[in-house]
Structure 1
Amino acid sequence: MERKNHIILSILAILLAFSFQESRAESRDSLFFEWYTTTNMEPWKSTMEQMAAERTPDNYNQLFEVVLAWYGYIGYCLGNDKEEEAEQYLETGWKFLDELIEMNPTNAAPHALKSGFYGFEMALARYKALILGPRSVSTLKTAASIDSTNIHYLVEKGNQMYYMPSMLGGDKEIALHHYKHAVELMISDSRYHQRHWFYLNTLVTLGYSYQSTEHIKEARKTYQKIQRIAPNFKWFNEEVWPKFVEKYGTF
């Protein structure tokens, strides 16, 4: 009887610990969403550093969340003339990413993120494109060979097709297809719910892609969806939507 009770208590303890971790992750997602939409990135930075310091060794999911937070912060730095800080965090981000790939080399997402990290490197030093460009393409092919329906593969493949010159194979329509597929998968994915910053970021990218390929009706619908999900999205409300309305109107 005592042994049975001990087993039951052990199972309950595991379930409670798992429930606590899930709740904590959801709470952190809400915070990152708020910081992303308000462009309040100082707490983002301190929180991701805390996540890195407190992670459990060999915990793949925790390390993945760290790498994704680094990915978001580096992208923010590059978009806001903070190249020195981007370079600093890219250096540490590479270490986490390499560890993540070593931990689970058969998962497509880290390989796709690696392609994105190469993109960050090229944004910091354009002259490295001849060397890093093929590496970025190669690691994305690795991701595709593992799982061509992985959300991160689709996003990074979209980025590759969107920004690559057409003479080298770039195609914004193909990019649009990949972004659209990524968003469709996110809708049914428990990790990237509508109030997750990465979902919102991808939705903005999809809207831009529709707009740049002259699918204005679809762009407007996507932007209006963003307004419903994040009505207080500072950057979107101050930059993206006003410029779109000025050119194309609200209806």
Structure 2
Amino acid sequence: MRYLPLLLLLFACTCVSAQCNNSTELNQQARTAYLTNDIDGWKEVLLKAKALPDNSANQLEMARLGLGAAGTAMASQNDAFLSECLDLMEDSLDKFWESDKKDPAANGLYSAYLGLLIAQSPMKGMLYGSKSSKYATKGVSYDAKNPVAQYCLGSNLFYTPETWGGDPELAVEHLQAAIATNNDEAGCDWFHLQTLALLGQAQSKAGDTAGARMTYLKALELEPEFGYVAKVLLPALSK
């Protein structure tokens, strides 16, 4: 019996790995780059994504990957790479707008792009703050079941100061909606793991420490090597 917890953990890890065998090589590489905060890994992912056919689906995916890479750039305080990611997101979305201006994910990602511009230079908040909120809200209005749109609105509500319309409790609702609309293999996607991490932070900010702990444990169940959650976010709940 003393080995039962270990066996269960190993079984859970094996199940996750088996499920992820069905994901694309590019998505697996993006997941690894996200989990390890590997800028070189993200650069390789973006380079491979650029080589894909230049169609609307790949343009949208390029913008999504740019968002993930930008997060690593910010965590690493690499402003040059952050600028590259922002340029990539802008270029990809500009191309995508030519075919569909009402796509929920595209509107959400454009909101996230504007939010990153503000994060890079806070003075731009006066210029892009309300515009970012507008596009995040539009994304969900076009399709409330789109996980990217829901994440981006939740992110906008989380990072926007409450005096300017931010709302951590409402952010929790939208991030939970993003989690709920993902498919069974969502744990294989870096974006789903990122959503769980932000959901836990929003729950904590809203005063729901128990809920945040459960969310972080769920993230670690999907990915035991999720260092940001295991070593930073989860321990912070006890401080």
TM-score bracket for the superposition, by shorter chain length: 0.7 to 0.9
Paired AA for residue 133 in structure 2: V
Match of 1:194 in 2: 187
- Match status 1:165 vs 2:158: no
Give, in angstroms, the shift of residue 166 of structure 1.
2.1
- Partner-residue secondary structure (3-state), 2:187: coil
How far apart, in 2, do the equivalents of 1:179 and 1:78 lie? 21
TM-score, normalization: structure 2?
A: 0.83
| Shift in CA distance, 92/30, structure 1 to aligned 2, threshold 3 Å | closer
How far apart, in 1, do the equivalents of 2:227 and 2:202 lie? 20
Give, in angstroms, the shift of residue 77 of structure 1.
0.9
Whether contact under 8 Å (1:39, 1:235) holds in the other structure is no
Match of 1:55 in 2: 52
How far apart, in 2, do the equivalents of 1:134 and 1:197 lie? 28
Match of 2:67 in 1: 71
| Shift in CA distance, 93/160, structure 1 to aligned 2, threshold 3 Å | closer
Sequence identity percentage? 22
How far apart, in 2, do the equivalents of 1:34 and 1:92 lie? 20
**Structure 2 residue aligned with 1:111, among 107, 110, 120?**
107
TM-score, normalization: structure 1?
A: 0.80
How far apart, in 1, do the equivalents of 2:209 and 2:133 lie? 30
Please say which structure displays the higher CA radius of gyration.
1
Give, in angstroms, the shift of residue 66 of structure 1.
1.5
Number of aligned residue pairs: 219
Report 1:138-177 matches (<5 A): 138-177=134-173
Whether contact under 8 Å (1:64, 1:100) holds in the other structure is yes
Provide the alpha-carbon RMSD of the alignment. Answer: 2.0
How far apart, in 1, do the equivalents of 2:87 and 2:22 lie? 28
- Match status 1:46 vs 2:44: yes
Report 1:214-233 matches (<5 A): 214-233=207-226
**Structure 2 residue aligned with 1:32, among 30, 33, 48?**
30
| Shift in CA distance, 47/168, structure 1 to aligned 2, threshold 3 Å | closer
Paired AA for residue 220 in structure 1: R
Residues 49-70 of structure 1, C-alpha deviation per residue, up to 9 Å, x if partnerless?
A: 2211x1213x222222221111
Q: Any stretches of 5+ residues in structure 2 without a counterpart?
A: 1-20
How far apart, in 2, do the equivalents of 1:156 and 1:234 lie? 23
How far apart, in 2, do the equivalents of 1:50 and 1:233 lie? 24
- Partner-residue secondary structure (3-state), 1:81: coil
Q: Any stretches of 5+ residues in structure 1 without a counterpart?
A: 1-22
Give, in angstroms, the shift of residue 25 of structure 1.
5.6
Give, in angstroms, the shift of residue 88 of structure 1.
2.7
Match of 1:13 in 2: none
